[in-house]
Each structure stands twice: as C-alpha cells, then as structure tokens.
Amino acid sequence: MDGPHPDQRFDPASITRPDPALLTYYTITALLTLVGFPFVFLPLYFKYHTLKYAFDDKGVSMSWGILFHRQIYLTYRRIQDIHVSRNFIQRWFGLASVAVQTASGSSGAEMSIEGIRNPEALRDYLYSQMRGAKDGAEDADADAPGAGDEALALLKEIRDALHRLAPQHDREEGAS
Amino acid sequence: MNGSNLPPETAGRTERAAQWLYTGLWRVLVDWFRVPQQPPTLPVRTADHLESFKPAFAFLRYLKLWFWIVCLLIDIGLTVGYLAAAIALFVAGFWWIALLLLPIALAIIIVPDIFAFIAVHLRYDTTWYVMTDRSLRIRRGIWTIHETTITFENVQNIKVQQGPVQRAFGISNLIIETAGAGGGGDSSKQGPNVANRGIIEGIADADRLRDLILPRLRQSRTAGLGDEDEEAPRGAAWTPDHLAVLREIRAELATMSG
C-alpha cells in the first residue's frame, strides 16, 4: 500500500485477464484446506482460467465460470465505496482483492476484482471515476459557461434580429 | 509509530525492553509480512487539504481495559480448573502428575495473554484514517489489511456512537454510511469492515469530524446514488445576463406590436 507512486500511464483497458500469480495464490489457499484441496481447488482453477475483465470508459465487467457462467457489469458512477483487502499471502504476491460496492441490497461486494498486479493504481483509477472524487462545482464551471454563452448568444441574435425588424416595421407603418 | 504510544516518563527498563521487542516484531511484520509502515494516502487535488490521523490514545487504554477484564475472567476460570484437577490428583495419590501439569497450566494461562496484549497494540498501531475534502480512507488489520475508500458525495448519514465505558475514556465511534443494505441488521453485531460503511473507531473529536463532514453532505445536491444527470439543472439555469436580454426582447416586441 505504500509502494511506489501509482503509474501515471496505468491503463485499465489493458487488463483483460488476471495475473498468473492469482493461480498460485488460489493453489496455496486450496492447499491450506488440506483434505478439502480437490473440492476447493477445482472451482478456483476453472474460475482463474475463465476469468475475464473488461474496463471501458463508463464501467467495468467481469465474467467467469464454465457450468455456471456469471457476468457482472457496473458503471463507475454508481460505485459507493471501494474496499481493498489483502491478506499476507496476497501481499507476498503483490495481489489484492478490490471489492466494489454499489447501492444494491446485497450484503457482499457487488464485484470483487482479484489478481490485479497493480491494485493501488486500479483503485486510484476507480476512485477518480467515482462521484465526488472530482469537484462537482469545477465541472459545472467548465460546462456551464459554454452552454450559458451559447444560450446568451442565441438570445442576443434574436434581440438583434427583432431590433433590425422593428425600425423596418415602423418604416412600413409610416409609409402606408 | 513504533512504541510511540508509551509516554516517555514511564519508559523504565522493562518498558524499554518491551519497546525494543515490539520494534523487532514490527520489523518482522514489515519485512516478512509486508505490513505497510506508512499511513495510507489518498489522491489529492491541489486545493485539498489532507488529514491523516489515528485513534485517540485513550482508545488504546480502552482496548487494554477490555483485555484485562477478559484475561482476568479466562485466567480465573483456568486457574480454578487446574486447582480442581490438582486437588483431585492429590486425593487420588498422583501428586507428581499435578506437579508436572503445573508448568503446562501456567503456559496455557499466560502465553495467550501475551499474544493478546501484543495484538491489542498492533491493532491500535495499524489503524489509520485519512480524510480529504472529498473522501475518506480507513485502513485496519495486520493479517488481512483492509482499506475502505468512501467519497462524501455518496454518504447517506453519519452516526456517532458512544457507550458508557467509552464515555469514561472520552472516545466515541463515528460511523459513515453510504446507500445499500450493508448486510442489514444491527451494526454492533458486525465487524468493522462491512460493506457500505466506514467506521472511525475510538476518536476523541468525533463531533469536530462530524461538523467537518456534515457541510459536505449539505452541499451535495444529489441523492448520492450515482445520479447521471446531475449537471443538467445547472446548465438550464438562467443567469441575470439571459434575463436582461429576454427583457430587451420583450421590450422590442412591445414596441413592434404597440
């Protein structure tokens, strides 16, 4: 968490597959269950091999599973809070679990992004896309004057057009 | 942060030895278990101010009070159990078994207490809160390090909780909730790392923090649910300039029709 400053050129769109270290981590967690190893390892093995991520500029989707296929899509704007948790095995591999919460009623995380090599950079990216991370007033200042100016310019054109029309009207009145 | 919680005037020989051991333990945690030593950070924009803080020192004393109460109860139970077994063995004539069991019993009674005492210190030293003008980050944990990030724009409500013992120590918990069920049920029955909630535990100035955060909630014009069209009303607003031009247009039309 206090590693080097997150890479400025971090590109989430380049992440489509989890890091190979995730499979090692899955194997170790499965081995820790001793007798339960085959039952724990097989689902994790298939999860790792089918896990796919897709980050675009509005949201992120992840999908996994062979028999039971799951796909989750959420937009960055709807993220309520981000939880990054890492146990000491994950810390050894430089991995983390980035859990993203939306306002839905489910108690667990809506999306738990695992096996990312640079979790801090991913979290900073998600954070920067969250509501409230950017100053709303700043955005308004950037947008509103442009839109306002256009409306104002239109109104001024209408006024000037009317103004040009008005003397003409008066002249016509006077001529007739 | 190592051992910084010990006031200097009480740092006698025992305390210095304990501090030295504790520093060594920290080095092991940092080197082998990759426990971060630095407080967490938050992406900051230029005008923001960043505040990084820890629970109040009273929170450590509060945790230690519970530690002593729990230890005392468990140790009394274990001692009574050992004495009962020893007396039974004496009566049965196996007094040497009772003597052999003595060091084992002492180890069972004392060793977990030492670990629990260290765990209390580590829990205090690994808890960090960071606040900027826009967001909040909470870090806690040693085995599993958990970091929660919440922007104030998404916060739904703020709670300040204080029990009678916490009041005696002058500390309270500040709970910041976002939308969502967060598991439902009573918040006191859940761990501190639940979804849709950030818990700032054991701080002495909960009211000050609440007064810092509340204005940011009042500023927010949205429901905090990811509203996509929040900029639309602002774009449609009429400024005095617009109104002035509109009045001129009305005047022009009035002269034309009149």
Examine the pLDDT at B58 and tell me if it is beyond 90.
yes
Residue A139 above 50 pLDDT?
Answer: no
- Which ipTM was obtained for this model? 0.72
Dist. CA A24–CA A45, nearest whole Å:
10
Percent of chain B whose pLDDT exceeds 70:
83
Tell me whether residues B43 and A103 touch, CB distance under 8 A: no
Report the relative pairing of strands B144-151 and B155-161 from DSSP bridges: unpaired
Architecture of domain A12-129: Roll (2.30)
Rounded to an integer, what distance in angstroms lies between the CA atom of residue B11 and that of residue B30? Answer: 24
Q: Give residue B3's pLDDT band: very low, low, confident or very high (50, 70, 90).
A: very low
Taking 90 as the threshold, does the pLDDT of residue B78 lie above it? Answer: yes
CA distance A134 to chain B (A): 8
| Percent residues over pLDDT 90 in chain B | 33
* C-beta separation of A152 from B243 below 8 A: no
Q: What is the structure's pLDDT at B10?
A: 56
> Model confidence at A172, in pLDDT bands (50, 70, 90)?
low
| pLDDT at position A138 | 44
For residue A12, is pLDDT > 80?
Answer: yes
Which among B161, B117, B141, B85 is positioned nearest to B5, based on CA atoms?
Answer: B117
B134, B195, B234 ranked by CB distance to A108: nearest: B195
Give A44 or A172, the one with higher predicted confidence. A44
* Residue A19 one-letter amino acid: D
Report phi then psi at B131, rounded to 5. -130, 135
Q: Nearest CA to CA, how far is B176 from chain A (Å)?
A: 11
What is the token pair recorded at A152? 């104002």
Cα-only R_g, chain A: 28
d(Cα A36, Cα A24) in Å, to the nearest integer? 17
pLDDT at B204: 92
Rounded to a whole number of angstroms, the distance from the CA of B165 to the nearest CA of chain A is 30
pLDDT of residue B181: 58
pLDDT at residue A137 is higher than 50: no
More confident residue, A128 or B238: A128
Residue A140 burial by Cβ neighbours in a 10 Å radius (0-12, 13-18, 19+): middle
DSSP characters over B84-114? HHHHHHHHHT-HHHHHHHHHHHHHHHHHHHH
- Taking 50 as the threshold, does the pLDDT of residue B74 lie above it? yes
Query: Residue B120's pLDDT is what?
Result: 92
Tokens for A136, please give them: 């709303």
Q: For position B166, what pLDDT does the model report? A: 93
For chain B, the farthest-separated pair of C-alpha atoms sits apart, in whole angstroms, at 125
The CB-side HSE value for B126 (13 A sphere, CA atoms) comes to: 21
CA A69 to chain centre: 22
Q: Where are the domains of chain A?
A: 12-129, 135-176
- Average pLDDT of A19-37? 92
Q: Identify the helix (H) or strand (E) that includes residue A113.
A: strand A111-114
What is d(CA A30, CA A37) in angstroms, rounded to the nearest whole number?
Answer: 5
Residue recorded with tokens 């170790």: A28
Q: Are B142 and B35 in contact (CB under 8 A)?
A: yes
Burial category of B150 from C-beta neighbours within 10 Å (exposed 0-12, middle 13-18, buried 19 and up): buried
Residue B179: per-residue pLDDT? 84
- How far is B203 from A118, CA to CA, in rounded Å? 32
What residues of chain A lie within 8 A of the CB of B151, using their CB? 127, 130-133
pLDDT at B116: 92
Task: Locate A39 and state its tokens.
Answer: 């039952």
- The tens digit of pLDDT for each residue in B93-149 reads 888 888 888 899 999 999 999 999 999 999 999 999 998 888 899 999 888 999 999
Cβ contact A126:B185 at 8 Å: no
Q: Does the pLDDT at position A123 exceed 50?
A: yes
Give pLDDT, residue B11: 60
How many angstroms separate the CA of residue A10 from the nearest CA in chain B?
Answer: 14
DSSP A125-165: HHHHHSTTTS-HHHHHHHHHHHHHHHHHHHHHHHHHHHHHH
Spatial CB neighbours of A144, under 8 Å, sequence gap ≥ 6 = B234, B235, B237
Residue B173 backbone phi and psi in degrees, to 5: -105, 135
* A168 at B interface, C-beta within 8 A: no
Position A51 pLDDT exceeds 70: yes
* pLDDT tens column, A72-116: 999 988 888 899 999 989 998 889 999 998 887 666 778 899 988
Q: Which of B43, B195, B253 sits opposite A109 (nearest CB)?
A: B195
Average pLDDT, chain B: 83
Residues of B in contact with A82 (CB under 8 A): 148-149
What's the pLDDT score for residue A143?
Answer: 45
Contacting residues for B255 by C-beta, under 8 A, at least 6 apart: A166
Please measure the distance between the N-terminal and C-terminal CA atoms of chain B and give it in whole angstroms.
82
Q: Tell me which residue has tokens 């400024």.
A: B239
Is the pLDDT assigned to residue B54 strictly greater than 50?
yes
CB A98 within 8 A of CB B177: no
pLDDT value, residue A142 = 43
pLDDT tens, B189-243? Answer: 456 677 788 889 999 988 898 888 888 888 776 776 665 544 444 555 677 888 8
Q: Which of A24-28, A123-127, B65-69, B215-219 has the lowest mean pLDDT?
A: B215-219
